[in-house]
Amino acid sequence: MRAAPTILHLDMDAFYASAEQAAKPSLRGKAVIVGGLGPRGVVATASYEARRFGVHSAMPMGQARRLAPNAAYLVPRFEVYRDISEQVMELLRGLSPLVEPLSLDEAFVDLEAGGVASDEASARAVGERLRADIRAVTGLTGSVGLAASKMLAKIASEEAKPDGLRLIVPGTERELLGPMAVRTLPGVGPVTGDHLRRAGITTVAEIAEAGEDELVRLLGKAHGMHLYEMALARDERPVVAERDTKSVSVEDTFDIDIHDRVRVRLEVDRLAERCVQRLRAGGHSGRTVVLKVRRYDFSTLTRSETLRGPTDDPGVVREAAARLLEAVDTTGGVRLLGVGVSGLADFTQEDLFAQAAQAAQAKEEQERLERGEEEAVAEAAGREAEEAVPAQEAAVEAPAERRWLAGHDVRHAEFGPGWVQGSGLGRVTVRFETPYSAPGRVRTFRSDDPLLEPGEPLPLVAGADDREEGPSYGSQAGESGSSEPAIRPKSRSGGGDSMGAETSIP
């Protein structure tokens, strides 16, 4: 253990919900819940206003709606959250080369390795400056914990919430931990906590009093020894700057079980495409394709296929996932599908054989020339005829109805930028406001309104040029717009009810 509290833990406060409140003036100070809005959706983040009703992360969305029926329910905007997270991580990397991100909104920092803190006073000064910098750059708040170990720094940041700083003075750790509940320690979940409770152990002090032998008897050697060390405030884990990505995966849970085999195949293809996009975004390729299927009875099957070499080709991943699906019985219905790639590498098999591929292509062209010009022309004409059929079919195919997700950004040619408050029954309700405006007016349009289109997120903190951009009705933005949050939807597609009296349906 260190002699100075130079390990910092940062945890952004109600991150997703706070970002939405900062972007949407009408939701500030209101209950905001971000997550999947379908019947099987779960809460990703709840604002502190929503937590007063008992809503918390990982809660089923249906339960959240019963507890907080008048909250604003929004679909996550992960692109926005990632951009904000990168701004925060950049501030952390300015403090030390040893930054260990745990998620988009949480990270450890070794201040000693960065040479910015060596004692209590300097560590506290760094923590306060970091909080101020985060607010200035992102407009959001974060809580900071400072201690001599990672475990204690995380506990300190939790106690500092929201928007605070807590420093644990070295030498006072045992006194601080003693009266805390056993669930405070990392690795103690509901099952372990209940097991300890049945043994009469409910506080950290009682874990230390029970002794290592008793904990090993109750929980097994590895878990028991680890928990005993934690109860004595012993944690020598270093801050690790980089964690190797072992796999990339995406999955979807469906509101209604899928029984149609063709639909299941189409969903697997779509997931494979998304997985490869994430794979390429990280600069990786992979050898093993993994398919995950959760069936109607909650049984989960996982199948995998290892390729001859790493790839980031969407066609290869899609075909491998399809082959894996053939071995899975989905007749009873599917509630979740997932596609992943593991065995990651920084190159692809295609890279290794690029010259061979070029040679094969050159050989094919040469053979084509040898077949003669007349045959080549006939072959090309046949291809054009085949391609013309689907092109004609596509021309007469009815356009798919646009989906408007609650909370996502839009732009109207007349009214400017805003966000979707709710949609359904061929209508979409938009509140026109920006992060820098007063709460804006609400208008309702047809979902196929040609003047309405998806918009780009605006920065939460902006300069004068950005502040000039806002709803086109200018100073009237807040005159009739309600500051109440969006209500849960009464529509087929989910979203939020329209609010305000003013509508415009062309």
DSSP state of 473: T
Does the pLDDT at position 48 exceed 80?
yes
Residue with the larger pLDDT of the pair 394 and 182 = 182
Average pLDDT, the chain: 83
How far apart are alpha carbons 280 and 269 in whole angstroms? 17
- Of 213, 226, 325, nearest in space to 267 by CA: 325
User: Could you count the other beta carbons within 10 Å of the beta carbon of residue 113?
Assistant: 17
Could you read off the pLDDT of 104-118 as tens digits, one per residue?
A: 999 999 999 999 999
- The per-residue pLDDT for 282 is 80
Q: What is the pLDDT of residue 63?
A: 94
SS3 192: helix
pLDDT at 467 over 70: no
Catalytic annotation, pick one of 20, 49, 106, 267: 106
- What is residue 281's predicted lDDT score, i.e. its pLDDT? 83
Q: What is the mean pLDDT of residues 459-466?
A: 70
Tokens representing 293? Answer: 């299927």
User: What is the distance between the alpha carbons of residues 312 and 118, in angstroms, rounded to a whole number?
Assistant: 45
Q: How far is CA 27 from CA 44, 218, 434, in A?
A: 17, 48, 12
State the average pLDDT over residues 47-72.
95
How high is the pLDDT of residue 392?
44
Mean pLDDT over residues 224-230, rounded? 91
Of the pLDDT bands very low, low, confident and very high (cuts 50, 70, 90), residue 1 is confident
Residue 222 confidence (pLDDT): 87
Give the HSE-up count for residue 410: Cα atoms under 13 Å, Cβ half-sphere: 33
Give the tens place of pLDDT for each residue, 343-395: 888 655 444 444 344 444 545 555 554 555 444 444 444 444 444 444 444 44
Strands 452-454 and 441-446, bridge-based pairing: unpaired
From 3-7, 164-168, 341-345, 348-352, the region with the lowest mean pLDDT: 348-352
Q: What is the mean pLDDT of residues 487-494?
A: 36
Element (H, E) at 444: strand 441-446
Predicted local confidence at residue 353, as pLDDT: 42
Instruction: Identify the pLDDT of residue 346.
Output: 65
pLDDT exceeds 50 at position 329: yes
Instruction: Summarize pLDDT for 264-303 with one digit per residue, the tens.
Output: 999 999 999 999 998 888 888 899 999 999 988 888 899 9
High-pLDDT (> 90) share of the chain, % = 63
List helix spans (H) across 204-336. 204-210, 212-219, 221-231, 261-281, 314-326
Where is average pLDDT lowest: 103-112, 320-329, 470-479? 470-479
| Phi, psi torsion values for 79, nearest 5 degrees | -60, -40
**Ordered strands of the 106-110 beta sheet:** 99-103, 106-110, 7-12, 142-147, 165-167
Q: Mean pLDDT over residues 398-412, rounded? A: 82
**What pLDDT was estimated at residue 296?**
84
Instruction: State yes or no: pLDDT of 59 exceeds 50.
Output: yes
pLDDT reported for residue 489? 37
Say which residue, 260 or 382, is predicted with more confidence.
260
Contact 267, 286 (CB under 8 A): no
**Catalytic residue status for 106:** yes
Q: Give, as one character, the DSSP assignment of residue 60.
A: B
State residue 266's pLDDT score: 93
Angle (deg, nearest 10), helices 261-281 and 314-326: 140
Dihedral sign of CA atoms 441, 442, 446, 449 in order: positive
Share of the chain above pLDDT 70, in %: 79
Residue listed under structure tokens 């975004």: 281
Q: What is the arithmetic mean of pLDDT over 78-92?
A: 95
Cα separation values, 191 from 223, 226, 298, Å: 13, 16, 20
Helix, coil or strand: residue 164:
coil
According to the model, what pLDDT value does residue 305 have?
Answer: 93
pLDDT value of position 463: 66
- Lookup result for tokens 């043994």: 199
pLDDT of residue 502: 36
SS3 216: helix
The pLDDT, as a whole number, for residue 503 is: 37
Say whether pTM exceeds 0.75. no
- Residue by residue, DSSP assigns 380-408 as HHHHHHHHHHHHHHHHHSPPPPPP--TT-
Three state DSSP letters for 68-91: CCCCEEECCCHHHHHHHHHHHHHH
Res 466: pLDDT:
54
